[in-house]
Amino acid sequence: MLGHESAIGRLRSQGYRITPQRLSVLDIVAGRSGHIGADEVWSLAKQQHPYVDLATIYRTLQLLKRLGVVTEVVIGNKLHFELADKDNRHNHMVCSVCDTVQTLSPDYLDEFSQRLEQEFGFTPDLDNLTIGGKCAKCQSATTE
Amino acid sequence: MLGHESAIGRLRSQGYRITPQRLSVLDIVAGRSGHIGADEVWSLAKQQHPYVDLATIYRTLQLLKRLGVVTEVVIGNKLHFELADKDNRHNHMVCSVCDTVQTLSPDYLDEFSQRLEQEFGFTPDLDNLTIGGKCAKCQSATTE
DNA sequence: TCCGTAACGGCAAATCACTGCAACAACGGT
DNA sequence: ACCGTTGTTGCAGTGATTTGCCGTTACGGA
């Protein structure tokens, strides 16, 4: 809803141009509460602006990701995006069986990431870390 | 070096057939100390067996991954593989700047994964978890 | 308001990973 | 050693994402 105004400022202040295509993509991603697939962004964008190219969608989403405006989640073998809320960061747990996504507070990763930094000097990129695995439901289904 | 004999046994005992293509792929991956890209496996395999198809390489690598013979590492946007040593499992930390790969004992993830299981019933797939981020070198380079 | 220029978007082609299908070959049984 | 069954391969095609090229456009400065 908001935060997308500030995103425009961030684009502008870093010398990026504000184009109708970029505004569309921002609107669409910001108008969603959850994550949205690149192809879905595309079809919605075309409603506003018939000649948008899918490549533009991808380029824009990558740009917004670099700027920290959106985060990327890999679901199955597709990329999904969602608005990054600076005050409510979270990571994702994606079930490899049913593709269900659960969110996870970064607190769970704090200790782990601190150890990596202390011992290896490696700074993990938690904003783009997705944990794969099996959710409770699918886990018990395969155990049966 | 070894471990690849046992892999053959594992294939055979699960009803998979031993084909020259599969042996080539195994030889190639086993002959490497580190990780190797799918395309690289392909070009090496063609030297032994001119008409191997890239699709076969992918299928074989996926099969070996399912059997736990090799592990997959995403580097940049390409898939790399390496021989999984049952007694020396490890995860990978890949630098998003220079694509350097460091290995990481799974001990570091134990506590974290246990919390996920206890609190969410989510079983993370640590065998296929790669941590992205910046290595010490690239981190200090961008801080300058 | 108009201009110049550097960034951007559209288009097409490339890349990487994966899949469907028909021909082929490994291997347990005879 | 030969056969038939059934898993595998090669080939061609598909889906998702990325890149190169070139004409177009946003936007700071005159």
Mean pLDDT of A53-58: 96
Using CA coordinates, name the residue in chain B closest to A96. B125
Residues B66 and B128 in one domain: no
Which amino acid does the sequence have at A111? E
Instruction: Please name which of A60, A9, A123, A97 lies closest in space to residue B93, comparing C-alpha atoms.
Output: A123
CATH number at residue A65: 1.10.10.10
Q: Which residues contact A52 (CB under 8 A, 6 or more apart)?
A: A21, A24, A42, A45, A46
| Tens digit of pLDDT at every position of chain B (144 positions) | 445 678 888 888 888 999 999 999 999 999 888 899 999 999 999 998 888 999 999 999 999 999 889 999 998 889 999 988 766 788 899 998 888 889 888 888 888 899 999 999 999 988 888 899 999 988 887 665
**Count of residues making up chain A:** 144
Contact flag A111-B111 (C-beta cutoff 8 Å): yes
Which of A83, A109, A124 is a domain's end point? Answer: A83
Helix (H) or strand (E) holding A74: strand A70-75
Contact B80, B73 (CB under 8 A): yes
**Is the CB of residue A102 less than 8 Å away from at least one CB of chain B?**
yes
* Interatomic CA distance for residues A79 and B45, integer angstroms: 32
Judged by C1' against the alpha carbon of A8, the nearest nucleotide is D26
pLDDT value at residue B1:
46
The CA-to-CA distance between both ends of chain A, in Å, stands at 44
Instruction: Please name which of A82, A60, A85 lies closest in space to residue A71, comparing C-alpha atoms.
Output: A82
CATH number at residue B127: 3.30.1490.190
Residue B94: strand pairing partners: B101, B132
- Residues 104-133/A with CB within 7 Å of nucleic chain D are none
**Number of separate domains in chain B:** 2
Question: Would the pLDDT of A135 be above 50?
Answer: yes
Domain that holds residue A103: 91-143
∠ CA A113-A115-A116, rounded to 5°: 65
**Count of residues making up chain B:** 144
Phi–psi pair at A123, nearest 5 degrees: -100, 100
Residues B132 and B77 in one domain: no
